[in-house]
Amino acid sequence: MNKPLKKNNAKKNSLEFSKLDYIVYPKHGVGRIQEIEIQTISGMELELYVIRFEKERMTLRVPTEKARNVGMRKLANQQTMDQALKTLKGKAKVKRTMWSRRAQEYEAKINSGDLISIAEVVRDLHRNDDQPEQSYSERQIYESALARLAREVAAVEAIAEKDAIKRLEDVLRAA
């Protein structure tokens, strides 16, 4: 049986994020902590981060003790952001496997929440104007990865998401 959390221990040990912090949740991207609340669920007191994802119009509650286990992290630092942009400038690496297998790998990279992995997906699926068109599913995955990357760039650099997308596309075209 689970025992109720002691408020004091929960607050001392698990609060690595604060109210109004921007965070990255692997499956949903950039969100903002709106509140840190205590709820009683099945007789147990749980301390929860209340995270708002504006783009999806969604609110998620994550137990503070589980935040690290689910892969929740702070926004990337400048060094990681520079590495992601460097990755975008690299040569696309497209494996010669079936599209369904590659699509699964791309989705896994996007949902990992790792900025460099997401940048790899964007780089690998980007098409310049002089290249053949993408299939519908390629385009969907590309746009998903680009949006996820752009949201983090926008949050880190305090710019609008559309400006972040333009910046990323400029880097891709220059590569």
Q: At which of 18, 45, 74 does a domain end? A: 74
Same domain (yes/no): 46, 101: no
Q: What is the largest CA-CA distance in the chain?
A: 62
- When pLDDT is cut at 50, 70 and 90, the band that residue 15 belongs to is low
Q: What is the CATH number of the domain that holds 117?
A: 1.20.58.1290
- pLDDT for position 11: 44
* Rounded CA Rg of the chain: 19
* pLDDT tens digits for range 68-121: 899 999 999 999 999 999 999 999 888 889 999 999 999 999 999 999 999 999
Contact criterion met (CB below 8 Å) for 51 and 63: no
Is the pLDDT at 12 greater than 60? The verdict is no
**pLDDT value of position 16:** 85
User: How do residues 114-156 score in pLDDT, each as one tens digit?
Assistant: 999 999 999 999 988 777 788 999 999 999 999 999 999 999 9
With 0-12 / 13-18 / 19 or more C-beta atoms within 10 angstroms meaning exposed / middle / buried, residue 92 is middle
pLDDT confidence bin for 13, thresholds 50/70/90:
very low
pLDDT recorded at residue 130 = 75
Single-letter code of the amino acid located at 3: K
Q: Quote the pLDDT of residue 128.
A: 80
Which of 42, 74, 106 represents a domain boundary (last residue)?
74
* Strand partners for 50: 35, 61
On whether residue 141 sits in a domain, the answer given is yes
Is residue 68 domain-shared with residue 84, that is, in the same domain?
A: no
Question: C-alpha distances in angstroms, 143 versus 59, 127, 137?
Answer: 23, 12, 10
Note whether 123 and 64 are same-domain residues: no
Q: What is the pLDDT of residues 21-53, one digit of tens each?
A: 999 999 999 999 999 999 998 998 999 999 999
